[in-house]
Each structure stands twice: as C-alpha cells, then as structure tokens.
Amino acid sequence: MVVGVLALQGSFNEHIAALKRLGVKGVEVRKPQQLQNVSSLIIPGGESTTMAKLAELHNLFPALREFVQLGKPVWGTCAGLIFLANKATGQKTGGQELIGGLDCTVHRNFFGSQIQSFETELPIPQIVAKEGGPPSFRAVFIRAPAILDVGPDVEVLADIPLSAVETISSNHAIQKEEESTESEKKVIVAVKQGNLLATAFHPELTADTRWHSYFLKMVPEIGEGTSAIVSAPTADQSFPERSVIDFPIYQ
Ligand SMILES: NC(=O)CC[C@H](N)C(=O)O
C-alpha cells in the first residue's frame, strides 16, 4: 500500500516522513502517469502559485482533476487546500489554476505574511473521536489560508476564533474582526467533503500523526480497522519545542 505525495514543491518530504512513522510508504508524484500507481494523494503545503505553474508544466491538472472526481482520497494541507478549493480569493493578478472539487471559498494568506505565521492549540473533536489522544492539536499556520464559506456537503473539522490570532493589526484577519459585530468571529481551518480532506495548517511539521492516521482511514485498502496505525502522541512523545521561525520559509 503506497500513498502518493505531490512532490512539485513544498513540504512533501515531511509528509513522507510522517507516513513512514505510521508504517506507510509515501511515494513522490510528479507526472500524470504516476497517479495511476497510487490510490490516494497528499498535496503538501508550499506556495500554491509556484505549484500551479509546475503542475501546468507537467500537464498534471487533467489527471489530478480526474483523480479527485473518481472519488480517490485526497488531502490538501495549506497550499494543498488552496489547490483543492473550488474558489480562491487573494490570488496574484491573473489568478492561478486550481484542481477544485472542494466546495468552499478559500482566502490565500488570510492571516498575513510570513512573519505573522503562528502556532495554536486547535480543538479537534471529530479527530479525537476516531484517533483518541489529547482534545486539541498543535496547529502550525505558515502564511496560511482560511476557508471563508463552505457548501452543504462540507463537514467542518476545525475552526479558529480570530481573537486567538495574536498578529499584526494591519492583517486581514484583524481587519475582519474589527468589522464584525460578533464577539467571537471564527474562520474555518479544516474540512472534509467525501473523499477530500483539507487543512489550512501543517500536521506534517509536528510529531502528532493523528491527521495522517485520520486520512489513512479514508483510504479503502487501509480503512477503519487497521490497528497498525497508532497515532495519538503519548506523554513522552510530545511536540518538539520549536517555533515557527524554525520552519521553512514558503514564499
Ligand atoms: N504554508 C503554505 O502552504 C502557504 C501557502 C501560500 N500562502 C500559498 O498561497 O500558496
């Protein structure tokens, strides 16, 4: 059983390493024909405009869209979420090509620029129900997008109150908060729609493999009953103490 990881740019090695910790082989996908050798796909974080250009160059978009439409499990993290969204705002002039399929509108760089990247504890009740472990997940947001609206078939797995985001006042998030009359304005940061999973943050950059385990359970050959997948961190396997400034810079 192998899981494909789109390896055009970004944190594909980190996803492959997380899969390995769960005893699953991740293979790099760069060409359309390589999608025929995998039954599921992870689209990593990185820079979605660069990834889109490389995907165009390799003529990957038709094969990626077919993969999604055939109902094969696909998980997009951060830039990967942007790739999967039906609609993206905050794009560069001229826009960028998307795979689509995920019925939502995503706003690129919602929380601000690279220096406004942050980490936060995110409650994840649906993931805990399946995977166990602590009630929240240490989520790493790097120039992250946020989901502004979702269609009726989309299940929201995590959202974040904007008050939890201690960033620079000029950024979009804080402006939106000021405009809001509600005291606890939230944006969506993780969703599931059928075969599609998407997170605005980077589970592959933590020691907690519950999101990978959750995704693997969406893969038919692995499925719900796989006991080989042990995911929740134990006390002595806690999150590495590092700051977002240690993470790679995605332009
Ligand atoms: N960490 C990330 O994947 C950042 C995504 C990036 N801001 C983009 O638009 O593509």
By the 8 A CB rule, do 74 and 220 touch?
no
Catalytic residue of the set 14, 172, 204, 212: 204
pLDDT of residue 241: 43
Q: What is the CATH number of domain 2-218?
A: 3.40.50.880
How far apart are the C-alpha atoms of 84 and 100, rounded to whole Å?
5
Q: What is the mean pLDDT of the chain?
A: 85
Ligand 1 atom closest to the Cα of residue 45 is 3
The residue with greater pLDDT, 94 or 26, is: 26
ipTM exceeding 0.85, yes/no: yes
Determine if residue 121 is labeled as part of a ligand binding site: no
pLDDT of residue 172: 54
pLDDT tens for 33-62 read 999 999 999 999 999 999 999 999 999 999
Instruction: DSSP for 106-155, please give it.
Output: EETTTT-SGGG-EEEEEE-HHHHHHH-S-SEEEEEESS--EEEEE-TTPE
Determine if residue 47 is labeled as part of a ligand binding site: yes
pLDDT tens for 127-153 read 999 999 999 999 999 999 999 999 999
Q: In the annotation, is 104 catalytic?
A: no
pLDDT above 90 for 81:
yes
Is the shortest distance between the CB of 45 and ligand 1 below 6 Å? yes
Does the CA dihedral 100-197-219-52 come out positive or negative?
Answer: positive
By the 8 A CB rule, do 169 and 202 touch?
no
Angle between helix axes 48-57 and 61-69 (nearest 10 degrees) is 100
Is the shortest distance between the CB of 198 and ligand 1 below 6 Å? no
Is the shortest distance between the CB of 107 and ligand 1 below 6 Å? no
Domain range list for the chain: 2-218
* Whole-structure pTM value: 0.86
What's the Cα-to-Cα distance from 115 to each of 84, 112, 199, 251, rounded to whole Å?
Answer: 25, 8, 20, 11
How far apart are the C-alpha atoms of 194 and 230, rounded to whole Å?
23
Smallest CA-to-CA distance from 40 within 226, 219, 217 is with 219
Of 48, 89, 113, which is best to mutate to test ligand 1, by the most ligand atoms within 8 angstroms of its C-beta? 48
Is the shortest distance between the CB of 8 and ligand 1 below 6 Å? no
